[in-house]
Amino acid sequence: MNQWEFMDKEYIWHPFTQMKGWNENKQLVIDHGEGVKLYDVEGNAYYDGISSLWVNIHGHRRREIDEAVKKQLDKIAHTTLLGLINKPSAELAKKLVEVTPKGLNKVFYSDDGSTAVEAAVKIAFQYWQHKGLPEKQQFINLGDSYHGDTVGAVSVGNIDVFHKVYKPLLFNTKKMTCPSFYHSSIEGINSEIEFRDFLLQELEDYLKENSDKVAAMIIEPLVQAAAGMLMQPKGYIKGVRELTEKYNVLLIIDEVATGFGRTGKLFACENEGICPDMMCLSKGITAGYMALGATMVTDEIYNTFLGEAAEYKTFYHGHSYTGNPLACAAGVAGLELFEKDDVIENLPPKMAVIAEHIQKMNTMKYVGNARQCGMLAGIELMHDKNLKIPFDSTLLMAGGICQTARKYGLIVRNIGDVIIFMPPLVSTVQQIEEMLSILEQAMQEVFEKVDLHSNI
Ligand code: PMP
Q: Is the pLDDT of residue 93 over 90?
A: yes
| Domain total of the chain | 2
**Predicted local confidence at residue 345, as pLDDT:** 98
The number of the ligand 1 atom at minimal distance from the alpha carbon of 291 is 15
Same domain, 395 and 440: yes
Same domain, 132 and 194: yes
Percent of the chain with pLDDT over 70: 100
Report residues whose beta carbon is within 6 angstroms of any ligand 1 atom: 112-114, 117, 146-148, 220, 225-226, 254, 256-257, 282
End-to-end Cα separation, the chain, in angstroms: 32
Query: pLDDT category, 305, cuts 50, 70, 90?
Result: very high
Same domain, 273 and 394: no
Q: What is the CATH number of the domain that holds 268?
A: 3.40.640.10
| Distance separating alpha carbons of residues 133 and 135, to the nearest angstrom | 5
Q: Residue 282 annotated as binding?
A: no
Same domain, 192 and 294: yes
pLDDT digits (tens, 9 = 90+) for 370-391: 999 999 999 999 999 999 999 9
Q: Residue 451 annotated as binding?
A: no
Q: Is the pLDDT of residue 273 over 90?
A: yes
Distance from the alpha carbon of residue 109 to the mean position of ligand 1, in angstroms: 15
The total number of residues written for the chain in this structure = 456
Same domain, 284 and 336: yes
Percent of the chain with pLDDT over 90: 96
* Radius of gyration of the CA atoms of the chain, in A: 22
Same domain, 48 and 87: no
Average the pLDDT over 363-368 and give the result: 97
Same domain, 288 and 360: no
Q: Residue 145 annotated as binding?
A: no
Same domain, 280 and 357: no
- 261 to 66, 257, 291, 339, 353: CA distances (angstroms): 21, 10, 18, 12, 17
**Predicted local confidence at residue 309, as pLDDT:** 74
pLDDT digits (tens, 9 = 90+) for 225-244: 999 999 999 999 999 999 99
Pairing of strands 214-219, 138-142: parallel
Are 174 and 139 in contact by the 8 Å Cβ rule? The answer is yes
pTM over 0.90: yes
Q: Is the pLDDT of residue 456 over 70?
A: no
pLDDT digits (tens, 9 = 90+) for 59-75: 999 999 999 999 999 99
Distance from the alpha carbon of residue 147 to the mean position of ligand 1, in angstroms: 5
Q: Taking the C-alpha atoms of 209, 214, 220 and 226 in order, what is their torsion angle to the nearest 10 degrees?
A: -100
Are 166 and 157 in contact by the 8 Å Cβ rule? The answer is no
Q: In three state form, how does the secondary structure of the chain look? A: CCHHHHHHHHHCCCCCCCHHHHHHCCCCCEEEEEECEEEECCCCEEEECCHHHHCCCCCECCHHHHHHHHHHHCCCCCCCCCCCCCHHHHHHHHHHHHHCCCCEEEEEEECCHHHHHHHHHHHHHHHHHHCCCCCCCEEEEECCCCCCCCHHHHHCCCCHHHHHHHHHHCCCCEEECCCCCCCCCCCCCCCHHHHHHHHHHHHHHHHHHHHHHEEEEEECCCEECCCCCEECCCCHHHHHHHHHHHCCCEEEEECCCCCCCCCCCCCHHHHHCCCCCEEEECHHHHCCCCCCEEEEEEHHHHHHCCCCHHHCCCCCCCCCCCCCHHHHHHHHHHHHHHHHCCCCCCHHHHHHHHHHHHHHHCCCCCEEEEEEECCEEEEEECCECCCCECCCHHHCHHHHHHHHHHHCCEECEEECCEEEECCCCCCCHHHHHHHHHHHHHHHHHHHHHHHHCCCC
Same domain, 50 and 75: no
**Predicted local confidence at residue 9, as pLDDT:** 97
Same domain, 336 and 347: no
Mean pLDDT for the chain overall: 97
Same domain, 273 and 380: no
pLDDT digits (tens, 9 = 90+) for 255-269: 999 999 999 999 999
Query: pLDDT category, 455, cuts 50, 70, 90?
Result: low
| Distance separating alpha carbons of residues 348 and 270, to the nearest angstrom | 16
| Distance separating alpha carbons of residues 393 and 415, to the nearest angstrom | 11
5: exposed, middle or buried (Cβ count in 10 Å: 0-12, 13-18, 19+): middle
Pairing of strands 376-381, 367-373: antiparallel
Average the pLDDT over 343-354 and give the result: 98
Same domain, 101 and 152: yes
Give the range of the structural domain holding residue 374, as residue numbers without chain letter.
3-57+343-452
**Predicted local confidence at residue 312, as pLDDT:** 83
Distance from the alpha carbon of residue 226 to the mean position of ligand 1, in angstroms: 8
Q: What is the CATH number of the domain that holds 444?
A: 3.90.1150.10
The number of the ligand 1 atom at minimal distance from the alpha carbon of 255 is 3
The residue among 318, 340, 362 that closes a domain is 340
Please name the residue whose Cα sits nearest to atom 15 of ligand 1: 113
Average the pLDDT over 80-90 and give the result: 97
Distance from the alpha carbon of residue 148 to the mean position of ligand 1, in angstroms: 5
The residue among 340, 362, 395 that closes a domain is 340
Phi, psi of 132 (to 5 degrees): 80, 20
Q: Residue 236 annotated as binding?
A: no
CB contact burial 263-278 (16+ within 10 A = b; e otherwise): bbbbbbbbbbebbbbb
The residue among 340, 365, 395 that closes a domain is 340
pLDDT digits (tens, 9 = 90+) for 153-191: 999 999 999 999 999 999 999 999 999 999 999 999 999
**Predicted local confidence at residue 452, as pLDDT:** 86
| Distance separating alpha carbons of residues 95 and 72, to the nearest angstrom | 18
